[in-house]
Amino acid sequence: MTDRDLTPPELDHTHLPDQTMYKIDADAANHFEQGGEDIETYPIAITNDFKLLYFEMAPGATIDWHTHTPAFDEVCLCLAGEARFTLEREDGSHQVLEAEPRESVYIPGGARHKIDAVGDERHEGLVTMPSDPVARVEMLDGAAPYRIEDWPVALWVDRKRDEVVKKDDDAVSS
């Protein structure tokens, strides 16, 4: 194989969306609290296709039982500390998984579940999920913030309209 074989073809950027990368500093981003100061959620980035959230839980804190819509699968990556994920099955039984740093837990859409920070260390996690195709079940209960538009998201990009909807200038740079 020659170097010529490894050279990618020239791209026609005419029909591609804006080609700007963004760096997001979670320490500078706004967040919202759940359960007092025990749980802090940082909406990092939202597009038409996915959401990325960073969250921290004090030792012993719980993100209580909740259910997302059936199309709302999520993957939680443990960055620090430990967390226990509990899923309630249709028959009332529970599946329990514990995650340590560099381990991920997949939670299927529509599953009733909760997350507990276990151990003496603060749990830090990263969650990715699809964007909401319809209203989320837990938001019907009036959970705060109620509407996604009210979230203190650092970067919100509408890829269909090719525009930045919201950008926290203190946390986002390009």
How many structural domains are present in the chain? 1
CA dihedral 135, 63, 51, 40 (to 10 degrees): 120
43: left (phi over 0), alpha (psi -120 to 50) or beta: beta
Give residue-wise pLDDT tens across range 55-78: 999 999 999 999 888 888 999 999
Whether 126 is covered by a domain: the verdict is yes
Whether 170 is covered by a domain: the verdict is no
Lowest mean pLDDT among 1-15, 22-36, 63-77: 1-15
Find the CATH number of the domain harbouring 42. Answer: 2.60.120.10
Cα–Cα separations (whole angstroms), residue 70 to 45, 136, 144, 160: 22, 10, 21, 24
- Sign of the alpha-carbon dihedral angle for 128, 130, 131, 137: negative
Compute CA 47 distance to the chain's CA centroid, rounded to the nearest angstrom.
11
Whether 166 is covered by a domain: the verdict is no
Whether 142 is covered by a domain: the verdict is yes
Structure pTM? Answer: 0.80
Mean pLDDT of all residues in the chain? 86
